[in-house]
Structure 1
Amino acid sequence: MPVRLSGSMGVAELVFTVLAFNAPLSIAVGFIPVVIGAGNGLGAPLIFVVCAVLLIVFAVGFTTMGRHLPNPGAYYAYITAGLGRPLGLGCAFVAVFAYFFILIGSYAFGGITLQALVRDMLNGPDIEWWVWVLVLQAVAGVLGYFRISLSAKILTVAMCLEVVVIVAYNAVVLFRGGPQGRPVPALDLSNFTSGAVGLALLFGVTCFAGFEATAVFREETRDPARTVPRAAYLSVIVMAVMYAVTTGVVIIAFGPDAVVAATGADPTGAMLGSFRLYLGQVAVDIVNVLLCSSIFAAVLATHNVCARYLYSLSVDAVLPRSLSVVHPRHASPHRASVAVSALVFLATAVLLTINLEPLRLYAALVGIGGYALLFLLLCTAVAVIPYLTRMRRQGRAISPAASVAAPGLSAMGLAFVLALASRNVAVLFGATQAASNVLLAVVYGLVLVGVVYGLWLRSRKPEVYQRIGRQDI
């Protein structure tokens, strides 16, 4: 019998884990004003609705496949089952790369945010940002060692606090109204296509990243056949409502005539100024504190996802089997978690020697990680079709809508967004075009490395090859 993880996460805990990965308060302060100012302006609320519809359509095939392929491993397992072991292994390497880059970038952002909080708001010592990074790494590493339910409880509390602040801002703005009253320009469909709608779609979809976590923690949920699909749909719906409503409220708060210029000139500064205007300086101070907890929640969620990917690859013997050991008391992939902590520490040390500016580091690493996750979403949507088609031929009760129509439509939508991302990589990564092209080459190069390695395993280690994608359970 292969080693298994175990746990009792429910729907709410799994949804909060997905929300933590996305850091909703950070999105409200940092991403929503970008979608308005640099995207499609007054049509921005509809962007989040469209992106949510796309992911819900994707979830139809995704959750249906999960019911018929109850393997842990998420995208790794699904792509392998649908498109073959070599490509599945290549996509697993991309997933590890994506989450690891997002983790490193989030640590950098957390470091500078904590530095500013202690120095500027609390009037404390000016401690170097990388020292705070080490503190965050230590705390996340300790929590990642223990049972997932401990992390889930912490993430739930952090998310509740973030949601309270966002709801309070929305409620006050809607009650008081903005300089032009309470217009609802999003209802004018002509606004949807205004400005850079493609760029808005690109940033909109990335705000839903982390959707895969609903399947990553499958082994550690209570009744996964019900918990995972419910959490998948609910997480998308909650994020869509929160993002769309908050975006509409931001437009009201600034006024339709001024919001695009204000958010385009200084996205984060404009949002913090709006919080100050409607909720007062105390609220801004609370937002600054909660931004730190939001980033930490995202770091913790990402650390746990990275650990589970290393665990899955080690169970399959693609990585050293020692990483697949489950803690006898905490039922956690504790060795894989320690490995993630060690890799993060080494990567941080290397990046410090390069002396990159932390904000640029954050933008580049999270941007490339988000791009890689878009690629994996597309591959998974395509993989659903052949797998569920085979299941239907074997007599499984699967509708054509779930096996072909929904995944096909989502694949077309995701292909469009990925094409937009490929054309705007410099904007997405916050780097030069040359550097962005190198990062793109790394993503697709990892796919090729995985494919070649998978073919090598097929000829030299067939017993390992058969295990790729958790196919042996």
Structure 2
Amino acid sequence: MLLFTLSASAPLTAAAGLATTGYAVTGHAALAPAVLAVAVTLALFAVGYGAMCHRLAHAGGFHAHVARGLGRPAGVGAAWTALIARNALQVGLYGVVGAAGAPLLVRWLGTAPAWWLLALAVWALVAALGVLRMDLTGPTLAALLLAELAVLVVFGLGRLLTPAGGALDLDAVSPARLLTPGAGALLVLAVVGFVGFESAVLLREETRDPRRTARAATYLAVGVVGVVLAFSAAATTAALGPDRAVALAREHGVELLFDLAGEHLGEALTPVGLAVFVASAFAALLSLHHTTARYAFALGREGLLPAVFGRASPRTGAPRVASAAQSTLGLVVILGCAAVGVDPVRRLFYRAVAFGGLGLLLLTAVTSVAVLVFLVREAADEPWWRRAVAPGLAAVALVAMVVLALADVATLFGVAADAPLRWAPPAVFLAVALVGALWAAVLRVHRPARHARIGLGPESVTTELAAPPAPAPGARV
């Protein structure tokens, strides 16, 4: 359970790809305190989230918890928000896989094709594996995860032992930097590093001691990701200084951590680290493809997407329509970005992932409020710590993070502070939530059986089958 949860987060992709690109775009490098703040908040969130999951017959995605806590209209808005955010995270990774794979081929073969050709090769492999439902095996995941963690720890120690100017800049990693302008942008990037942390709770039924095992795996996943990402970010910022870290990130891009390691630990480590990074990004891409396709499948089953999305392959059981839709979206994005010359890292990868991260932060904040409302209303037998204190603290912290993120939304996306388009990303999620609430109202009036299925997951099918038929016009009831 812990292995599955940690593998989905792809710590090396977050540290070497998202963090360094975030430094270059935002101009801020104080990511370490942001990661620790998010880790503590998610640990508090997991207390109430786990308690609520154990009271639901179906522990589905966040939208199921929002539907049970705040009502079905809010649940539909949360469902569509999650789908958009997950799609953005997934398609954005094609940019960094293509861009990071090119330097490797140059080192090995002396030449490399355009980034989008490499992205198309990865896209074809992901599309095939998604339809065939061929997940990475446990030993492969374990080996890749250990390699990622080893690269981050070894490379981080190398930077700490060879700081620029001979001394570490500890002020660069001070928690006080979260009170400076730009902190909201770093909080959004930190949230992306914990993608999939809730997976352990969703797998609890497959363990002998569901409550204890899921809780332990969730806390361990948040703790491991938080410590490793914070250590890597702190090592870079403290060793280089925030200003130089930003300047080097703009110069080296996603190769920054590996080029620094080559300078201090030997050039042979640079291609090794880069190869593990590409493998990490591919594993994250494949994982997101599988989970997003199955999320669309669940929404199709609940009637929140066209029914065709809720159909599985009779041969493999995989959600082939939802998977094909994922692949089609990826193909369109890759070809579209190649046609207009979009930068694969700073535009496709970073902006898509930042957009998805903002959506995840908004979704987690709404879910935290829903968990608090549900537990206060329906969990009188829970200790106050699980019922109100921890969920309340998490809700307050997450809402505060949303406020900071919206205040720094221009910094997050690297646009002018007065640019009208800076409000486009949050406006998209607001519009989706409002349309989702409206659709729930329509279902309640015209299709009450489908409305009753919202948030029920696998139970949605039996709910509709068990619903009594509507009486004929004029019949006595």
Kept in 2, the 8 Å contact 1:214–1:228? The answer is: yes
Q: Which residue identity is paired with 1:242? A: V
Number of positions where the alignment pairs a residue of Structure 1 with one of Structure 2: 451
Aligned with 1:74 (options 49, 52, 61): 61
**CA 1:168–1:96 in structure 2 vs 1: closer, same or farther (change >3 Å)?**
same
CA–CA distance in structure 1, aligned partners of residues 39 and 414 of structure 2: 25
Cα shift readout 1:185-222 (whole Å, capped 9, x = no counterpart): 58976676567544444433343233344456667778
2:155 to 161, 165, 169: 169
Match of 2:15 in 1: 27
Could you list the per-position Cα deviations for residues 248-299 of structure 1 after superposition, in whole angstroms to 9, with x for gaps in the alignment? 3334543xxxx22210212263534421222211111112222211211121
Partners of 2:61 and 2:208 lie apart in 1 by 17
Per-residue deviation, 1:173? 4.8
Q: What RMSD over aligned residues (CA atoms) do the two structures have, in Å?
A: 3.1
Instruction: Report the Cα distance in structure 2 between the residues aligned to 1:453 and 1:65, rounded to whole angstroms.
Output: 26
In the alignment, structure 1 residue 248 sits paired with structure 2 residue 238: no
- Letter paired with 1:420: L
Q: Deviations over 1:411-446 (max 9, x none)?
A: 111111111211222222235633332232211111
Map of 2:440 onto structure 1 = 454
What is the aligned counterpart of 2:409 among 425, 430, 434? Answer: 425
Q: Do the aligned residues in 1 keep the contact of 2:29 with 2:246 (CA within 8 Å)?
A: no
Q: Which residue of 1 aligns with 2:244?
A: 262
- Is the Cα–Cα contact under 8 Å of residues 33 and 263 in structure 1 kept in the other structure? no
Q: What's the counterpart of residue 376 of structure 2? A: 389
Do 1:40 and 1:194's aligned partners in 2 also have CA atoms closer than 8 Å?
Answer: no
3-state SS in 2 of match to 1:150 = coil
Q: Which residue number in structure 2 is paired with residue 294 of structure 1?
A: 280
In 1: Cα distance, 2:137 partner to 2:125 partner: 11
Q: What's the TM-score once normalised by structure 1's chain length?
A: 0.84
For residue 399 of structure 1, report the CA deviation from its aligned partner: 1.9
- Which of the numbers 1, 4, 8 marks the counterpart of 1:18? 8
Letter in 2 for 1:46: P
Structure 2: which 5+ runs fail to align?
461-477
Q: Pick the aligned partner of 2:130 from 119, 133, 144.
A: 144
| TM-score normalised per structure 2 | 0.84
Whether the 8 Å contact between 1:58 and 1:381 is mirrored in structure 2 is yes
Match of residue 203, structure 1, among 181, 189, 201: 189
Partners in 2 of 1:115 and 1:265 — Cα distance?
A: 22
Q: Is the 8 A contact 1:98 1:372 kept in 2?
A: yes
In the alignment, the residues of structure 2 paired with residue 31 and residue 134 of structure 1 have an alpha-carbon distance, to the nearest angstrom, of 25
Distance 2:314 2:230 in 1: 44
1:3 maps to none
Match of 2:217 among 216, 227, 231: 231
Identity of aligned residues (%): 28
User: Could you say which residue in structure 2 is the equivalent of 1:406?
Assistant: 390
Question: In 2, are the aligned partners of 1:58 and 1:407 still within 8 Å (CA)?
Answer: yes
Question: Contact 1:35–1:204 at 8 Å: present in 2 too?
Answer: no
Counterpart code for 1:390? R
- Deviation, 1:335, is 4.0
Structure 1 residue runs of 5 or longer lacking an equivalent are 1-10
SS, match of residue 67 in structure 2: helix
Hey, what's the Cα distance between the residues in 2 that align with 1:321 and 1:225? 34
Q: Tell me the CA shift for residue 19 of structure 1.
A: 2.4
Query: Which residue identity does 2:40 align to in structure 1?
Result: V
Say whether the 8 Å CA contact 2:191–2:357 is kept in structure 1: no
- Residue 16 of structure 1 aligns to which amino acid in structure 2? L
Separation in structure 2 between the aligned mates of residue 153 and residue 99 of structure 1, nearest angstrom: 26
Look up the SS of the partner of 1:281 in the other structure. coil
Measure the CA separation in 2 of the matches of 1:351 and 1:248. 33
Q: CA deviation at 1:461?
A: 0.8
Shift in alpha-carbon separation, 1:122–1:309, aligned structure 2, 3 A: same
- Counterpart Cα distance in 2 of 1:87 and 1:266: 43
Please say if 1:361 is aligned against 2:348.
Answer: yes
Q: Deviations over 1:330-362 (max 9, x none)?
A: 554344323322332234344444443323122
